[in-house]
Structure 1
């Protein structure tokens, strides 16, 4: 993922936001804010066959700046609405797992709304397990929302 992808990345993010079950965010940030918050080494995109249209993206944020959590990241994966059901999210997540494994990341986590059943199924297929549900963790569009916390632990010994 590079700055040349910014407009399409943020448009796909906004589409997910608009659907209402992807994030607590209500609007996509500026590219500079997005870029500053995500780890440069773990941001990936998938383009269509022409190399011009971005189909989806995945990116990680640092969970904590404490050294004990150096190998723990939280990630988000978003797919263009017209590209869903084509394996884009699975390909992104598989490549992301390879990237984090190679970098010594031992835990990938994500918080997903329980209503986002497609994302929950995707993550289970990729080896994530449910840690628990954070009940009424935040308000979103004037209602309390739960978040299912998932994690994938590396199979490598670090």
Structure 2
């Protein structure tokens, strides 16, 4: 587990592309290009928030980051987390270790609330978050349309302070 470096972004892009194209874990319909990943990394760092890469045997196996929840200043102590694990590395505890480290880094950065927005059929992601003290804060019904179906999201929240 380490801070993400620009050299990691191609592998991160491939991991995310898998989820964009093959799942409803994200509502993006087109995978971001390298330039967009560079922008995301810079924006997260500029906000003083964590962007982490997990490696196994020198290979990128997952990543996670926290980004501001909303742009209005009153939300400055609230973030949304994103954690993705390479398909070949699932089931090895990588997602949990990423989320644990994100929570530690956020607490150190003065963040008070972490929000997870999870597609209703994201049982693995919901369980990962619930094991770390997240609880349901709400449900948004039929807010996403992907792969020819309407999807709900569940909002999970964890207080750090």
Give a deviation string over 1:105-134, Cα, whole Å, max 9, x none: 111111111111111100000111111210
Residue aligning to 2:20: 17
Kindly state the Cα deviation for residue 39 of structure 1 after the two structures are TM-superposed: 0.9
TM-score by length of structure 1 reads 0.91
1:74-113 matched pairs, under 5 angstroms: 74-113=80-119
Name the residue aligned to 1:55: 61
Q: Could you give the per-residue CA deviations for residues 29-70 of structure 1, whole angstroms, max 9, x where no partner exists? A: 122223323512310011113x2x101000122122222111
Q: Which residue of 2 aligns with 1:39?
A: 44
SS state at 2:141 partner:
strand
Question: How far off its partner does 1:138 sit?
Answer: 2.2
Cα distance in 2 between the residues matched to 1:42 and 1:115: 27
TM-score by length of 2: 0.89
Moved over 2 A (4+): 34-38
Number of positions where the alignment pairs a residue of Structure 1 with one of Structure 2? 153
Could you tell me which runs of 5 or more consecutive residues in structure 1 were left unpaired when the two chains were aligned: none
* RMSD of aligned alpha carbons: 1.3
Q: What is the CA–CA distance in structure 1 between the aligned matches of 2:145 and 2:38, rounded to whole Å? A: 25
Q: Please say if 1:145 is aligned against 2:151.
A: yes
1:27 aligned to which of 30, 38, 41: 30
How far off its partner does 1:141 sit? Answer: 2.6
